[in-house]
Amino acid sequence: MDVRAAVAFEAGKPLVIETVQLDGPRYGEVLVEIKATGLCHTDKYTLSGADPEGIFPAILGHEGAGIVVDVGPGVRHLKKGDHVIPLYTPECRECKSCTSHKTNLCTAIRATQGKGLMPDGTSRFSFQGKPVYHYMGCSTFANYTVMPEIALAKIRDDAPFDKVCYIGCGVTTGIGAVLFTAKVEAGANVVVFGLGGIGLNVIQGARMVGADKIIGVDINPEREAMARQFGMTHFVNPKEIEGDVVAHLIELTGGGADYSFECVGNTTLMRQALECCHRGWGVSTIIGVAAAGQEISTRPFQLVTGRRWQGTAFGGARGRSDVPKIVDWYMDGKISIDPLITHVMPLEQINHGFDLMARGESIRGVVVY
Ligand code: NAD
Ligand code: AHE
Ligand code: ZN
C-alpha cells in the first residue's frame, strides 16, 4: 500500500515528505495505522549522523500510538481495531532477558532492529523499488507501519492518541527511570540534569514517589516554570553558578544527592551527575544518549567511596506489561502529560518541529496524522 512518510534520505539533511510503499504484515507481524507520534531527541540524534546504528534511507520515529488494521499469520495477542503503542524495547516474554526478570532489554529481535530490518531480515518499506529502512523497530514517522506483535503494547480504547503517544518513549523513560531503575524512595533528595521531554518526566516520577528535594539543572531558564509545575523544588542554572556546580549541588542536598539522573546526553554532565551523589550510597542513572566515540570518566575513588553508576533504557519498563498501566495512570489523573506537549503539527511541519526542539522552544512536539 502507499503510505505517507517523513523519509530520512541522508544524515544531517531535513526529512522529506514522500509517498512510500509498505508491504503487508508477515508471520508474527501487525499492520498499524499510526495516529500520532512524538518527536524525541533521539530521532534528532540519529538524523544527525552521530548514531552508529543510523542507517539511511530510513523512516525514523519511535514514540507513537495507533490502531491495528491487519494482522499477519501467527499473531496471537492482537486483532484488528486494537489500540496500541509501538515498543522500541519489545517484550517477547520468552528470551533469556525477559525470563530473567532482571532487565527489560528483550533480545528477541534486537539484532535485526539495529539493522533497520524486520525479524526476517527484510524491510517492509520501499521507495522507487529500493528498500527504505525501519528505525528502532517502529518507524512512526509514517501513517502506517508494520511491527512485530511482541513490540506492541495493547492499550485501552478511550486514551487519546495525541497524548499517549508520548508514553511510547519520553513519559515511560523518565518516570520508569525513577520507579523501575533507580527505585527512588520517599524522602530522597534527587538531582535531575536536563529538563526537556525526558527530565521533566523524571521530575514528575520523583514527585510521585514522594522525594524530598527535587533539584533541576538546566542552562535554559525557560524550563524552570514547567519543572516547578511538575514538582521541582530547586532550580540550578549552571551559567549562573559561581564556582563548581558539583560543589553547589552537594551543598544544596546537604552532602550529596541520594539519586541523580542525566537526561541530556552530555558526558561532562554524566560525570557531574555521578560526582554530586552522596558518598557511600548515591546512585546516578544515565538516561541521555551520547554520540558514537564519546566516553565517560571519573576518578575510580568516586565509586570506591560508594557512589554507583548505572544506565536505563525505556526507563526499565517491560513494554507490554507496564505501558498499559502507565496509560491508566494518565487516564486516572495520576500523571500529567498535556502541558508537556507544547506543539502539535501535521506531518508536513515535522522539520519545523525539530527546529523548535533544537532551539529549546518546545518540550514535546507531536505530529498528528
Ligand atoms: P530535550 O532536547 O527535550 O532536552 C534536553 C534538555 O537538556 C534541554 O532542556 C536542554 O536545555 C538541556 N541541556 C542541554 N545542554 C545542557 C547542559 N550543558 N546543562 C544542563 N542542561 C542542558 O531532549 P529529551 O527528549 O529530553 O532527551 C534527553 C536525552 O535522553 C537525549 O540524549 C535522548 O537521546 C535521551 N533518551 C534516552 C532514552 C533512554 O531510554 N535511555 C529515552 C529517550 C531519550
Ligand atoms: N543506536 C544508539 C542507541 C541509542 C540508545 O541508547 N537508545 C535507547 C533508547 S533512546 C529512546 O529515545 C535504548 O533503548 N537503548 C537500548 C538499545 O537496545 O538500543 C547508539 O548510540 O548506538
Ligand atoms: Zn525517545
Give this complex's ipTM.
0.99
Give per-residue pLDDT as tens, 258-272: 999 999 999 999 999
Distance 38 CA to ligand 1 centre (A): 14
State if residue 89 touches ligand 2 by the CB under 6 angstroms criterion: yes
Q: Is residue 326 part of a domain?
A: no
One domain, residues 217 and 281: yes
231 is in which domain, residue-wise?
A: 174-312
Note if 53 is an active site residue. Answer: no
Q: Model-level pTM?
A: 0.98
One domain, residues 164 and 234: no
Distance 197 CA to ligand 3 centre (A): 9
State if residue 104 touches ligand 2 by the CB under 6 angstroms criterion: no
State if residue 40 touches ligand 2 by the CB under 6 angstroms criterion: yes
Q: What are phi and psi of 345, to 5 degrees?
A: -150, 160
Give per-residue pLDDT as tens, 26-62: 999 999 999 999 999 999 999 999 999 999 999 999 9
Note if 277 is an active site residue. Answer: no
**Could you tell me the CATH number of the domain that includes residue 194?**
3.40.50.720
Q: Is residue 317 part of a domain?
A: no
Active-site residue, selected from the candidate residues 29, 46, 83, 106: 106
> Is 292's pLDDT higher than 90?
no
Q: Is residue 290 part of a domain?
A: yes
- Cis, bond preceding 324 (omega within 30 deg of 0): no
Note if 62 is an active site residue. Answer: yes
Give per-residue pLDDT as tens, 81-92: 999 999 999 999
State if residue 134 touches ligand 1 by the CB under 6 angstroms criterion: no
One domain, residues 154 and 27: yes
Q: Is residue 323 part of a domain?
A: no
One domain, residues 162 and 206: no
